[in-house]
Structure 1
């Protein structure tokens, strides 16, 4: 089931457009990839946790440890694969967020479920769960072997045209949106999802889509600047 989990009128005004539209979009809004017909995917969920910080509405992100075997060093939403003990996909998202960032689920209100999105690299079928951080709790990298950094990033900073560009991988056909904000380099699945959410939520500002950078070169430059 996708769509709102609560009445849109019960969430902050700035979050209502996303809650209201959550039941009107399908996977093609977010990705061009379709699940394989044989159904051999792994269910997973990410928690897209919106809060209200000193700089206004923000979202919780983490950077994966550089030593991980897959997606090392990449910025992501808290999340992971479903486990047998999870009551549903919302429970998966909340459990993973608590395990990775220490967020207290009792202060989190799930507000909407977006369509399942297929990620070919991992073969995960990922369900994004939107939530409002009603009672913020301290967060941190619970296991440094898995998570390097946890951060609350202001939506206004993500929407700032100075922080936005596109990246490509020559020879692969890959091109997608990216962000360089608060010392984080966001690309891939997470950046694509954020880019669409900024638009759907009404936060997007005009930015230069013709600024296309080589991914590997952009990552090296970012590493040099943030050391």
Structure 2
């Protein structure tokens, strides 16, 4: 799962597929500005595995419930994508694709304000058809699309990397963007 002789910590994020006003969408959070790390950034619900979590699915469901109060009984895990390292190469993040079985109204959602500043959704069709800006990810050779999804809201970094992967596999399969 990681380079040899490295002890990886594990985390999971939930990519919540949902329906908002009859529109298939993906739910996002804006991290609380109070957080020491990544405050104000767009993300998916998620966090570190706890000793009581039996697997990354359990972590993703628990973190989603803790952050945006969606009860795990209303969420169906669909699969897990290849883990991705954090920028320090000490944490492997496991993206878990999930289906939220009940209609969602992001404007009416309650959430943990110590972790989340806002919840919003973007339609799958809108995401696939949206103009994007391509940037180098982590000053490396990988190019990642960035989505501007509202005033002052840009999906970038690891969240953009995960989103691009999800969209390319489940919505618009096709050749991957070449890496330079």
Same fold (TM over 0.5): yes
CA distance in 2, matches of 1:137, 1:195: 23
Q: Give 1:109 shift.
A: 0.9
Q: Which structure has greater strand proportion?
A: 2
Q: Which moved more, 1:194-203 or 1:96-105?
A: 194-203
Counterpart position of 1:100: 67
Task: Answer with 1 or 2: which has the greater Rg.
Answer: 1
Counterpart position of 1:180: 148
Residue 57 of structure 1 pairs with residue 24 of structure 2: yes
CA distance in 1, matches of 2:150, 2:110: 16
Residue 154 of structure 1 pairs with residue 123 of structure 2: yes
Counterpart position of 2:163: 194
Contact 2:25 2:121 in 1 (8 A): yes
Question: For the structure 1 residues 141 and 149, does the alpha-carbon distance in structure 2 shift closer, same or farther, using more than 3 Å as the test?
Answer: farther
Question: For the structure 1 residues 148 and 141, does the alpha-carbon distance in structure 2 shift closer, same or farther, using more than 3 Å as the test?
Answer: farther
Contact 1:55 1:154 in 2 (8 A): no
Mapping for residues 163-178 of structure 1, pairs under 5 Å: 164-168=132-136, 172-173=139-140, 175-178=143-146
CA distance in 2, matches of 1:41, 1:180: 32
Q: Give 1:105 shift.
A: 1.2
DSSP-derived class of the 2:59 partner:
helix
CA distance in 2, matches of 1:141, 1:122: 33
DSSP-derived class of the 1:201 partner:
helix
Residue 126 of structure 1 pairs with residue 93 of structure 2: yes
CA distance in 1, matches of 2:46, 2:77: 14
Q: Give 1:168 shift.
A: 4.5
Counterpart position of 1:216: none
Unaligned runs of 5+ in 2: none
Residue-by-residue CA offset, 1:177-203 (whole Å, 9 max, x unaligned): 211113421101110111122121233
Q: Which structure has greater helix proportion?
A: 1
Q: Which moved more, 1:184-193 or 1:63-72?
A: 63-72
Contact 1:104 1:137 in 2 (8 A): no
Question: For the structure 1 residues 50 and 165, does the alpha-carbon distance in structure 2 shift closer, same or farther, using more than 3 Å as the test?
Answer: same
DSSP-derived class of the 1:36 partner:
coil
DSSP-derived class of the 1:43 partner:
strand
CA distance in 1, matches of 2:150, 2:38: 20
Count of aligned pairs between the two proteins? 171
Residue 71 of structure 1 pairs with residue 50 of structure 2: no
Contact 2:18 2:104 in 1 (8 A): no
